[in-house]
């Protein structure tokens, strides 16, 4: 189905409707669960509980691991015996990045211990141990909101921007802009960014794996947590230094490539005859459609796509750095 809103084309397909419904379901589920958490915390009444058992489980997905706690306790409320399995209120479980973080969460709850649990008088069967809300529901809301935004941007605007743009040949028009970047020939900047990127992508994972192997064999072989002191002159210290340098090199390479790619996009744009289409970097609907579209792009569209991905990687690095600084 296609229609226009104030001259702007909008295209809605069955896939669009399905994605919108899924995203709305994620937002609704996350919001509802957080409200339920908040109400349970506000109305909670303390009861005496006995811990039956507590453990940590690991879940692997796409090469990364999340850790969850499993806990079981028994309690009585108004003469009725209940069994609970929630550390926090709500139906969404809290995930942890490391096993040690998950173990720290259940450290106070050893089997046989008598602790304080909390129950909502309106639903006494869902007792919990920690009287506080968690942020996991916001992850569902954020993912659903992002998916909804991208779907909306993709549905609005021109159907195939970045295809059949009609670039003039380099013989007809050659851009004289951005011949140098940072005082260096633009071709040199491009080749340098690619070389640095290849080096960083080789050294970084190799160093991380090497550090993991050294630390694995440095332990006593038991499942207990081991605290190791590493000096810069040790093999592990040297490898950690290489990890740090490779990460810095990767950031520099992506930044250099982003600058070069954006200026290359500007040079290509000058080869488009007037009237030129709106810039995708000032019209997000066009940018999202180009980056997500499954149609054949021309040289102009491919450059926009690569530049958009490069900017996305830069934003990821900035977000990771901000998270480190804040937390």
Question: Are 219 and 126 in a shared domain?
Answer: no
Report the pLDDT value the prediction gives residue 220, as an integer from 0 to 100. 53
Q: How far apart are CA 43 and CA 35, in angstroms?
A: 12
Query: Tens-digit pLDDT profile for the chain (327 aa)?
Result: 777 766 677 788 888 899 999 999 999 999 999 999 999 999 999 999 999 999 999 887 766 778 999 999 999 999 999 999 999 998 888 888 888 899 999 999 999 999 999 999 988 999 999 999 998 899 899 999 999 988 888 888 777 888 888 888 888 887 888 999 999 999 999 999 999 999 999 999 998 888 888 877 765 554 444 455 656 677 777 888 898 899 999 999 999 999 999 999 999 999 999 888 889 998 888 888 888 877 899 999 999 999 999 999 988 888 877 766 655
Question: Are 152 and 239 in a shared domain?
Answer: no
Q: What residues make up the domain containing 85? A: 45-130
Question: Are 70 and 12 in a shared domain?
Answer: no
Report the pLDDT value the prediction gives residue 324, as an integer from 0 to 100. 66
Report the pLDDT value the prediction gives residue 326, as an integer from 0 to 100. 57
Q: How far apart are CA 214 and CA 272, in angstroms?
A: 56
Which of 140, 157, 174 corresponds to the end of one domain? 157
Which of 113, 141, 157 corresponds to the end of one domain? 157
Question: Are 39 and 57 in a shared domain?
Answer: no
The pair of three-digit structure tokens given for residue 276, joined into one six-digit string:
């030129």
Q: Are 153 and 289 in contact (CB under 8 A)?
A: yes
Rounded to two decimals, what is the model's pTM?
A: 0.66
Question: Are 141 and 215 in a shared domain?
Answer: no
Report the pLDDT value the prediction gives residue 222, as an integer from 0 to 100. 45
The pair of three-digit structure tokens given for residue 235, joined into one six-digit string:
């093999």
The packing angle between helices 235-269 and 186-218, to 10°, is: 150
Q: Are 105 and 69 in contact (CB under 8 A)?
A: yes
Q: How many other C-beta atoms are found inside a 10 Å radius of the C-beta of residue 163?
A: 16
Q: Whose CA is closest to 124, among 82, 86, 88, 74? A: 82
Task: Count the domains in the chain.
Answer: 3
Residue 160 per-residue DSSP state: S
Residue 161 per-residue DSSP state: T
Q: How far apart are CA 87 and CA 128, in angstroms?
A: 5
Question: Are 174 and 213 in a shared domain?
Answer: yes
Q: How far apart are CA 219 and CA 324, in angstroms?
A: 28
Question: Are 170 and 313 in a shared domain?
Answer: yes
Report the pLDDT value the prediction gives residue 62, as an integer from 0 to 100. 64
Q: How far apart are CA 207 and CA 242, in angstroms?
A: 7
Q: Are 147 and 19 in contact (CB under 8 A)?
A: yes
The packing angle between helices 235-269 and 299-326, to 10°, is: 140
Which of 139, 157, 175 corresponds to the end of one domain? 157
Q: How far apart are CA 245 and CA 250, in angstroms?
A: 9
Q: How far apart are CA 43 and CA 121, in angstroms?
A: 7
C-alpha distances (whole Å) from 111 to each of 50, 68, 82, 108, 287 are 8, 18, 17, 10, 55
Question: Are 121 and 89 in a shared domain?
Answer: yes
Phi/psi zone of residue 157: left (φ > 0), alpha (ψ -120 to 50 degrees), beta?
A: left
CA angle 274, 276, 279 (to 5 degrees): 155
Report the pLDDT value the prediction gives residue 325, as an integer from 0 to 100. 61
Question: Are 125 and 137 in a shared domain?
Answer: no
Question: Are 202 and 316 in a shared domain?
Answer: yes
Question: Are 145 and 291 in a shared domain?
Answer: no
Question: Are 49 and 84 in a shared domain?
Answer: yes
């Amino acid at each position: 189905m296609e229609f226009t809103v104030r001259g702007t084309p909008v295209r809605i397909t069955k896939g669009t409707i399905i994605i919108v419904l899924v995203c709305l379901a994620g937002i609704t589920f996350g919001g509802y669960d957080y409200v339920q958490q908040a109400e349970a915390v506000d109305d909670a009444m303390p009861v005496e509980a006995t811990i039956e058992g507590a453990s940590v489980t690991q879940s692997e997905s796409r090469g990364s691991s999340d850790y969850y706690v499993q806990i079981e306790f028994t309690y009585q409320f108004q003469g009725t015996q209940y069994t609970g399995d929630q550390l926090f209120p709500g139906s969404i479980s809290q995930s942890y990045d490391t096993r040690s973080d998950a173990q720290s969460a259940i450290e106070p709850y050893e089997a046989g211990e008598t602790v304080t649990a909390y129950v909502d008088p309106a639903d006494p069967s869902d007792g919990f141990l920690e009287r506080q809300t968690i942020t996991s529901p916001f992850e569902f809301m954020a993912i659903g909101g992002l998916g909804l935004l991208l779907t909306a941007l993709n549905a609005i605007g021109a159907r195939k921007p970045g295809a059949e743009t009609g670039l003039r040949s380099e013989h007809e028009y050659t851009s004289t802009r951005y011949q140098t970047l940072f005082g260096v020939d633009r071709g040199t900047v491009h080749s340098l960014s690619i070389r640095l990127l290849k080096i960083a992508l080789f050294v970084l994972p190799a160093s991380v794996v090497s550090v993991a192997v050294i630390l694995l064999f440095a332990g006593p072989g038991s499942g207990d947590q081991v605290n190791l002191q590493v000096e810069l002159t040790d093999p592990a210290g040297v490898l950690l230094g290489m990890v740090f340098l490779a990460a810095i090199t990767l950031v520099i390479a992506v930044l250099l490539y982003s600058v070069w790619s954006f200026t290359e996009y500007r040079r290509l744009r000058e080869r488009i005859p007037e009237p030129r289409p709106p810039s995708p970097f000032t019209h997000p609907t066009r940018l999202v459609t180009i980056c997500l579209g499954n149609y054949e792009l021309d040289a102009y569209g491919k450059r926009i796509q690569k530049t958009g991905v490069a900017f996305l990687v830069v934003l990821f690095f900035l977000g990771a750095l901000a998270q480190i600084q804040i937390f």
